[in-house]
Every structure is written in C-alpha cells, then in structure tokens.
Amino acid sequence: MTGILPAEYFPLDPLPEFMLVIIIILIMPRVMERLKLPGLVGLIIGGLILGPNGLGVIAEDSSVMHFLADVGMLLVMFFAGLEIDIEKFVKTGHKSLAYGFATFAIPLTAGLLLGRLFNFPWITSVLVGSLLASHTLLALPLLIKHGIVRHESITVTIGATVFTDVAALVVLAVCVAIHTIGLSPSTLTIRLTGMIIYIPLILIGTRRLAPWFLNKMHNRKNSHSLLILLLVTIAAVAAEAIHLEGIVGAFVVGLAVGEVVRRGQIRHELDTLGNTLFVPMFFLIVGSLIDPASFLRLSSSGLGFMLAIVATLLITKFVAALLAGRTLGYARDDILCMWSLSVPQVAATMAAALVAYEAINSSGQRLINESTLDGILVLVMVTSILGPILTQRYVKRLAAKK
C-alpha cells in the first residue's frame, strides 16, 4: 500500500525524511506522557504516521531506516538484560525459579492452546505461547522511586524475569529454526547444543572481559559506550553464525555487563547512545508495519484473536502470581504487585514478534502472519499502558507497609 504522500515528495535527498523522523521522536513520546501513557506508544503511533500506510516517509525498502531499527532492536534486548540483576536472582534462588517457571509455563501452555483454537500451525502456536510467557519490567522506575526494589516479593519477581526471558528466547530460536529449516532431529540437536555452549560462553566471557577492557580505557570515557555496543554486535554476529537470533546475544551481553554498567557514567552514555535514535527507530519501524485498514478488514476470527490474546495474558499471569505467591506465603498486595509487574509485554515480546514475522520458510510462509502481528501489537500497547497503572497502585500499598 502506498503512502498518503507520493514518493516524489521526497525525491533524492533523505534529509526531509530524517527531519520528520526526529520531529516524531521528539514530540510523540512527550505527547503520550502528557496523557499519562508510556512514551513508546507514541513512537509506535509515530511509526504508523510515517510508515507506508501513512505519509509514506518510512518506505518498506528503506535500508537505512531498517538498519537503525535493527541496531535499536539489539539495544532493546540489551537494556532488557541490563535491568536484570543476576546477584538478586541467585539470592532469591528457588523462589525466583518457582515463580519464573509458573509465570512462564502457564502463559506458554495457554498461548499454545489459544493458537490451536484459532487453527494456527503447532509451531506458530508454540511461538505465540512463548511471546506471552516473557515480560518486561516496564514499571521498574516506580519500584526505585518508592524504595521497595529490595522487598522480597519484588526481588523474586525481578529474578523470575531472568528465567522467563531466557526461556522465551530459547523457544523463539527453536521455533524459527524449525520453521525455516524443518524439523530435523540432527539439525535441532546441533542448534540446541550450540545454544547450550553459546549462552554460558558469552555470559561468562563478557562478564570477565568487559571490566578489564573498561579499566584499560578509563581515560577515554567516551569510548565506553562504543565498546559495549561492539560487544553487543559481536555477540549478535556470533549468534547468527550458529543460526541463533542476534537478539539472544544482545540479551546475554546485557545480563553479563549489568553489574558494571548499572553503576557510574557508562549507563548514562549508553542511554544517550541508544535511546536518542536507535531504540526509538525500532519502535517507529514496528509502528510502520501497522496497516489501519487491516483492522477494518478483520474477520470475526481476527478480532476474536486480538481480544483473546489480551485476556489470556492477563488471566494467566494473574494465575501464575497467585499460585506462586500463595505457595511462598506472600500477602495479597505482594501477589497483586507481582502480577502487575509481569503484565507488560514490550521489549522481548516486540523484538521476538518482529523476528518471527520476518522468518520465512522455503514455501514463502511467515512464522506469524500480519493478522497475528497486529494482535501482538495490540497486546503490547494495552499491557504497556495497563501494567504501570496497576503497579503504581499496588506499589504504594507495599511502600506504606515498610
């Protein structure tokens, strides 16, 4: 579908396109925040405005824009890994694993059944389930603001995120491999063996080497963020070399360098580098994939899937928090806070959905089609708004009990 403005409106000079992109990045998140909505919703809407189904500024074949978005997707996953404190995960131990398993397995199973209910192939159904299984700690700043990050139920929830995100990425890698090359036991064994070797190797290697390199470059602080970006890129390239998705490598590097990067100036440099252009471009490209007309053309089945996937996520995440919370002896407000923190489906979900959409087999079939992607985009926007609102409410109750 062509844009509202003809292609010759932006003839050869890309500067007008870049100008509009910057304007959208500057304005749309602030507009959403004024409306008490997450800024990323504004970026997704901005991508819709600039995309092929809007003004046509971001073309489907815009290699530069898509390259920036690809880097942004890696950084989204890197930042997701960065927010996870492995030390806290180790301290909470079996409790984090118990909740992590519950909040992964229950949505995964329900998502698989939902996919089969809507006649999706088995592999697509499993992928849909894995998208529901992970979550993004979108409300983490609220926890820091109210000083309850070290509260046990919060620590357990943060620790559980390690399990859910790693497990979801493993399922994604396996689903993409099966979809693109077929279900070959020998090939699948090789892929799984590669993952088993790759993840610990990158995690341990980066965890040890990054501090050494950063100390060697202590007099050139502006190079710190570039070094981290280099590590992310190397891990992504290495992942793709063994037929994994690059986002797996980016996430593992985030896990590995979290302890070093969270303190000091490096985090500020990385935020400036990533969140100024690359990460916003990722969400703009995601928004550009939306075709508003497709919502008008939705069948009753397509509309039903959109409603069902949101309801399934909310219900299964609540059931997981309730079961784990009751088993661990937590109070009602702790359980509700655990649930609200696991509701947002943003970073891992969006990146994985885009990877799955772009995974095409030899028959030209995508792992998930446009209608399914639209449903996931709705899920991202609904949960990114609802999650922080719920967390704000329950966090205040926990903070009052301190």
Dihedral angle sign, alpha carbons of residues 344, 348, 352, 354: positive
Length of the chain: 402
Per-residue pLDDT tens digits for 89-125: 677 678 888 999 999 999 999 999 999 998 898 888 9
CA Rg value for the chain: 21
In order along its 402 residues, the chain shows pLDDT tens digits of: 444 444 444 444 567 777 888 888 888 888 888 887 767 778 888 888 887 777 777 766 666 777 888 888 788 778 877 776 677 667 767 888 899 999 999 999 999 999 999 889 888 899 899 889 888 776 766 676 666 766 778 878 877 877 887 788 788 888 887 877 766 677 667 777 877 888 888 888 888 888 777 777 666 656 777 888 888 888 888 887 877 777 778 888 888 887 777 666 777 778 777 778 888 888 888 777 777 766 666 666 678 888 899 999 999 999 999 999 999 988 888 899 899 988 888 767 877 787 888 888 777 788 888 778 888 888 887 887 788 778 878 877 777 766
Residue 130 resides in a domain: yes
Q: Smallest Cα–Cα separation from 79: which of 339, 217, 220, 272?
A: 272
Q: Tell me, what CATH number does 179's domain have? A: 1.20.1530.20
Residue 274 resides in a domain: yes
Residue 96 resides in a domain: yes
Parent domain of 136: 62-400
Matching residue, tokens 């609904």:
382
DSSP secondary structure string, 261-301? HSSSSHHHHHHHHIIIIIHHHHHHHHHHT--HHHHHT--HH
Helix ranges restricted to H, 146-245: 152-181, 185-216, 224-241
Residue 191 resides in a domain: yes
Per-residue pLDDT tens digits for 141-176: 667 666 676 677 887 887 787 788 778 878 888 888
Residue 12 resides in a domain: no
Residue 335 resides in a domain: yes
Query: What is the helix (H) or strand (E) element at residue 340, kind and residue range?
Result: helix 332-342
Residue 5 resides in a domain: no
Residue 40 resides in a domain: no
Q: What total of structural domains would you count in the chain?
A: 1
